[in-house]
């Protein structure tokens, strides 16, 4: 039996288990097996583990000493699948990024005297640095709710090497007799945007309502596969993608939502379930898409927004605002960073228990085993 030291935190609209990389097997397969056992996958309820039985609460944040010269700590984001023994590292969880500073202090990875209110986080998923600025001191008492401004530096093209991975602001595809226009943007993550109206949806449906639409869900998964294959076949992108990196968002005009102050309304459909709120990476991609000429998102966005002005996205739980920082060049404005405000709260510091299988023993040193048994 392995006792894994960990921290459980709420980060934004997600909840995750934060673990020091030093307490996990070095070999990838053994590490992921341990994490899936720890979370209770592949039972969708995760009843025999510490996962929450929902994609928003089945997340791991692996922290480590900095490998980047400009960072204070490394952060690896993983989505622990509910129904499969698999961890998806293709997407950075921006919500859990809000909890990295407080969690790193609990693990002894950063000195709260040196980084009292600000932490530079190197995200290995995207290869970019996140500046986290906290209103409260990072050594505040346990249970403190931390408010942070997160600045995601250089969010463009981290996964494909370009802003528009298909080379076009708008493309068209026909799947199962349904023809739609769509836009693919690599900003924060690789997102494909489709008008909800083209799937005969209003766009303000609840996640439960969308999840009950079997044909829509099946169509979205075929579309996700198409997007991945298209990006890889066209070779506009300098990097290949896998289907786990492709996120799908259905967008609609803000008039379709009760939140009149929003610029657009969005629903993110994940392979397991429709997102109950809105991902930070999705907010970044949506905002960048709205600022990019001729995309689906720009054509459907309303109100005053743009570089330097907040962009408001209506989602099932309310509204999420994101802003862009830019530099003026002779070729026009170049997006330098995206910023968003998130809160986090430390919920638990302790140990989680999971069987230590033979396949893990070869990847965990004898001293490490002694430390965690």
Alpha-carbon Rg of the chain, whole angstroms? 20
Same domain, 367 and 232: no
Q: Where are the beta strands (DSSP E) in the chain?
A: 2-11, 14-20, 59-64, 73-80, 87-88, 118-123, 128-134, 145-153, 171-175, 178-187, 189-195, 246-252, 264-269, 311-315, 318-329, 332-354
Decide if 160 is inside a domain.
no
Q: Residues 282-308: pLDDT tens digits?
A: 999 999 999 999 999 999 998 766 555
Q: Are residues 279 and 310 in the same domain?
A: yes
pLDDT for 355 equals 82
For residue 369, the model assigns a pLDDT of 36
For the record, the structure tokens of 31 come out as 């590490």
- Write down the pLDDT at residue 334: 86
The answer to whether 372 and 3 have CB atoms below 8 angstroms apart is: yes
Q: Based on the domain organization, do 192 and 324 belong to the same domain?
A: yes
Both 204 and 305 in one domain: the answer is yes
Whole-number pLDDT of residue 370: 40
238 and 274 both lie in a single domain: yes
Q: Exposed e or buried b for every residue in 112-136, given b needs 16+ CB within 10 A?
A: beebeeebbbbbbbbebbbbbebeb
Q: Confirm if 101 and 148 have CB atoms less than 8 A apart.
A: yes
Of 232, 225, 226, the closest CA to residue 167 belongs to 232
* CATH code at position 191: 3.10.310.10
The alpha carbon dihedral of 159, 164, 167, 171 has a sign of positive
Structure tokens, 78: 């993983």
Residues 146 and 184 in one domain: no
Sequence-ordered alpha helix ranges (H) in the chain? 28-39, 94-97, 100-107, 207-211, 214-234, 280-290, 296-300, 358-361, 366-372
- Domain for residue 272, yes or no? yes
How far is the C-alpha of 372 from the C-alpha of 364, rounded, in Å?
A: 10
Is residue 56 one of the residues assigned to a domain?
yes
* Domain presence at residue 166: no
Q: Which domain holds residue 72?
A: 2-155+344-372
Residues 243 and 303 in one domain: yes
Number of domains in the chain: 2
Contact (CB, 8 A) for 363 and 25: yes
Q: Is residue 326 a part of any domain in this protein? A: yes
162 falls within a domain: no
Q: Which neighbouring-strand residues pair with 309?
A: 306
User: Do the beta carbons of residue 8 and residue 18 sit within 8 Å?
Assistant: yes
Tokens of 51: 């996962």
- For residues 17 and 80, state if they share a domain: yes
In a domain, 161, yes or no: no
pLDDT, residue 272, reads 87
Residue 164 lies in a domain: no
pLDDT per 10-residue tile (average), the chain, 373 residues: 95 98 97 97 95 95 98 98 94 97 98 95 98 97 96 97 96 98 98 98 97 98 98 91 97 71 95 95 97 95 70 95 85 86 97 75 42 39
Q: pTM for this one? A: 0.92
């Amino acid at each position: 039996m392995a006792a894994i030291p960990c921290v459980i935190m709420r980060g934004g609209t997600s909840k995750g288990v934060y673990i020091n990389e030093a307490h996990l097997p070095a070999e990838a397969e053994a590490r992921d097996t341990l994490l899936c056992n720890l979370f209770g996958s592949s039972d969708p309820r995760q009843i025999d583990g510490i996962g929450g039985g929902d994609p928003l609460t089945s997340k791991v944040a692996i922290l480590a000493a900095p490998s980047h010269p400009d960072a204070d700590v490394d952060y690896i984001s993983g989505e622990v699948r509910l129904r499969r023994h698999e961890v998806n590292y293709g997407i950075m969880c921006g919500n859990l990024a809000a909890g990295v500073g407080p969690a790193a202090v609990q693990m002894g990875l950063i000195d709260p005297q040196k980084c009292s209110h600000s932490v530079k986080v190197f995200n290995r998923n995207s290869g970019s640095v996140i500046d986290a600025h906290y209103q409260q001191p990072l050594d505040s008492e346990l249970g403190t709710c931390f408010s942070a401004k997160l600045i995601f530096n250089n969010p463009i093209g981290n996964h494909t090497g370009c802003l528009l991975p298909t080379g076009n602001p708008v493309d068209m595809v026909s799947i199962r007799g349904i023809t739609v226009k769509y836009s693919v943007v690599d900003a924060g993550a690789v997102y494909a945007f489709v008008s909800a109206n083209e799937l005969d949806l209003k766009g303000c449906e609840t996640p439960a309502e969308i999840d009950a639409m079997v044909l829509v869900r099946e169509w979205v998964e075929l579309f996700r596969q198409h997007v991945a294959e298209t990006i890889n076949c066209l070779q506009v992108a300098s990097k290949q993608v896998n289907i786990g990196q492709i996120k799908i968002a259905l967008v609609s005009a803000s008039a379709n939502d009760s939140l009149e102050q929003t610029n657009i309304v969005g629903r993110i459909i994940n392979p397991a379930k429709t997102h109950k709120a809105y991902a930070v990476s999705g907010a970044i991609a949506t905002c960048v898409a709205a600022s990019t000429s001729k995309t689906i998102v720009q054509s459907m966005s309303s109100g005053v927004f743009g570089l330097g002005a907040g962009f408001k996205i209506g989602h099932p739980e309310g509204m999420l605002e994101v802003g862009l920082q830019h530099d003026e060049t002779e070729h026009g404005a170049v997006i330098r960073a995206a910023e968003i405000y998130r809160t986090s709260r430390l919920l638990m510091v302790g140990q989680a228990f999971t069987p230590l299988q033979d396949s893990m023993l070869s990847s965990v040193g004898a001293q490490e085993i002694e430390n965690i048994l």
